[in-house]
Structure 1
Amino acid sequence: MENSIEPISKIAFELGPLSVHWYGIIIGTGVLLGLLLAMRESERRGLSKDTFLDLILFAVPAAIICARIYYVLFEWEYYSKNPGSIIKVWEGGIAIHGALIGSVLTAYIFTKIKKISFWKVADIAAPSIILGQAIGRWGNFINQEAHGGEVSRSYLEGLHLPDFIVNQMYINGAYYHPTFLYESLWNLAGFILLLFLRRVNLRRGELFLTYVIWYSIGRFFIEGLRTDSLMLTDYLRIAQVLSLSLIVIALAVIIYRRVSGQAVKHYKDA
């Protein structure tokens, strides 16, 4: 039976010579749903509905480029020998942390030019970002990447996973931890949490910083299960080091802004 398991095709459909990959469709779906959510909330918070439409025109390209650069830099031994593969983002190989760095920097510059509050925009965007991440991880599922160590089929069946997930985790003769699913579910839980915290009316900036903390906690533990981690040294995984750093930084920023009196306004304030 196992020898006959065929993986889900990476190609959704073809238009002449153009192959449209599931990876791109899934990532695009996450971006679109996140954008619609942010646009709806921005109007409630007194911003123009076009704010996020304008921002995403710059943030998405910056996120993709930075995500790819981040990944390529830490896998340079391979890409230096295969330079033609550097642009093949549809095959996977984009780092979420790189995307976040690129999009946050873009948003900061954008808000300074538009003379609107960066923290206000970041708070509105936070649920959209983590929702996009929850959806985007299914692109890794299609590409059979970002998985964990080897497990048995019975282990996966014991998680009560549908057959299409179990079968897709059969890679080169073995079954693997569906870490893409663990992170997707963690992010989905974070999305629900952030929607709830909107009602709590936290200080401005703290919804986004809560997202950073929540995502980083999950990523730290899930990264420890993965077999394809980008490594800083032989023993240190880059994502884990960065996740711990972001948790500390986010907590420090929350405390500093409160103590210094910078966090006066709340999420629902104009």
Structure 2
Amino acid sequence: MINFLHTFQPQPLILKLGPFAIHWYGFLMIVGGLLGFSLILWLIKKYQLDKKFFEDLLFWWVVGAIIGARIYYVIYAWEMYKDNWLDIFKLWQGGLAVHGIMIGGLITTFVYCRIKKKDFLLTADLVVTGLVTAQIIGRVGNYFNQEIFGKPTNLSWGIPIEPAFRPEQFLNSNYFHPTFIYESLGNILILIILFLIHKYRFKKKQFLPGQIFFSYLVLYSILRFSLEFLRVDYSPVVFGVRWAQLLSAIIALTFILLISIRFARKQSLQSTDEAISNA
């Protein structure tokens, strides 16, 4: 596998027949999405939830996530699009920001839950489990588009990047860190952690909705913050750090605080109940 990454030259297309083309990026996004939703359906059975609600939510979640992902990316990389407006609609070329997917998808989920009078936090627990599954597969699409790679490296798993896709300061470098692969591996670890929390819930039959949702936001933000040190693609710099790093730090710290507050409240309630029962 390591040697394969070092020698294989990725191409964006799987198949092209006349004007019809299948791109690896789009194909892997769809595969990842289907796997993620399959996992959500399995969790629905375990939690004994309304399957129809989640099936209806899927369509609106995808719409919200794609719109959010594209708007976020276009704002993020405005210099690329300000003179090429039509490129905004070329989704097959890449440019769907994960933070935008999170924001757009979760806003859609919140609104839909309010309309249907469902528990948003419990719904979000299942949604983010499917989301991180989709991220594991979908991120590999960046490999075939030769985008979102890291700094030059001499490590044996460094990937070749064509000169046309290299940043100007690295035109003479041949091999780069596959940061998208690192992110996929990190997301596998996150999925394992989330699944273990789900498993604990099944066993105890008691849980606090939102625990998995908050955990995902913290864990992914820490992963993304770390990987941004390696990435060389364009990014606005705010307070001396890349924008995605700043946003990831804000999200991680905010939800670590919320998790701590919820845990403290739970412990306080348990202590109160024990005191009452012993009185």
- Sort the TM-score into its range (normalised by shorter chain): 0.7 to 0.9
Separation in structure 2 between the aligned mates of residue 102 and residue 42 of structure 1, nearest angstrom: 22
Deviation, 1:35, is 0.5
* Contact persistence 1:42–1:48 (CA under 8 A): yes
Separation in structure 2 between the aligned mates of residue 54 and residue 223 of structure 1, nearest angstrom: 35
- Identify the residue that residue 236 of structure 1 maps to in structure 2: 241
SS across alignment from 1:150: coil
- Identify the residue that residue 191 of structure 1 maps to in structure 2: 191
1:208-239 per-position Cα deviation (integer Å, ceiling 9, x unaligned): 11111111111101011000142143832111
CA 1:12–1:84 in 2, change beyond 3 Å: closer, same or farther? Answer: same
Question: Which one is further off, 70-79 or 6-15?
Answer: 6-15
The equivalent position to 1:58 in structure 2, one of 57, 60, 63, is 60
Identity %: 36
- Identify the residue that residue 137 of structure 1 maps to in structure 2: 139
Deviation, 1:37, is 0.7
Letter in 2 for 1:207: I
Structure 1 spans left out of the alignment, 5+ residues: 265-270
Separation in structure 1 between the aligned mates of residue 86 and residue 248 of structure 2, nearest angstrom: 31
- Identify the residue that residue 130 of structure 2 maps to in structure 1: 128
Letter in 2 for 1:181: I
Separation in structure 2 between the aligned mates of residue 48 and residue 64 of structure 1, nearest angstrom: 25
SS across alignment from 2:140: helix
Separation in structure 2 between the aligned mates of residue 73 and residue 105 of structure 1, nearest angstrom: 18
Deviation, 1:6, is 6.9
Structure 2 spans left out of the alignment, 5+ residues: 1-6, 164-172, 202-206, 270-279
Letter in 2 for 1:218: L
Give the TM-score normalised by the residue count of structure 2.
Answer: 0.83
CA 1:53–1:232 in 2, change beyond 3 Å: closer, same or farther? Answer: farther
- Identify the residue that residue 162 of structure 2 maps to in structure 1: 171
Which consecutive aligned stretches of 4+ in structure 1 deviate over 4 angstroms post-superposition?
258-261
* Contact persistence 2:29–2:134 (CA under 8 A): yes
Letter in 2 for 1:233: V
Deviation, 1:259, is 4.9
SS across alignment from 2:89: coil
Deviation, 1:89, is 1.3
Give the TM-score normalised by the residue count of structure 1.
Answer: 0.85
Letter in 1 for 2:127: A
Separation in structure 2 between the aligned mates of residue 6 and residue 204 of structure 1, nearest angstrom: 45
SS across alignment from 1:13: strand
- Identify the residue that residue 207 of structure 1 maps to in structure 2: 212
Letter in 2 for 1:77: E
Deviation, 1:78, is 2.1
SS across alignment from 2:44: helix
Q: Which has the larger radius of gyration?
A: 2
Deviation, 1:258, is 4.4
Separation in structure 2 between the aligned mates of residue 56 and residue 229 of structure 1, nearest angstrom: 32
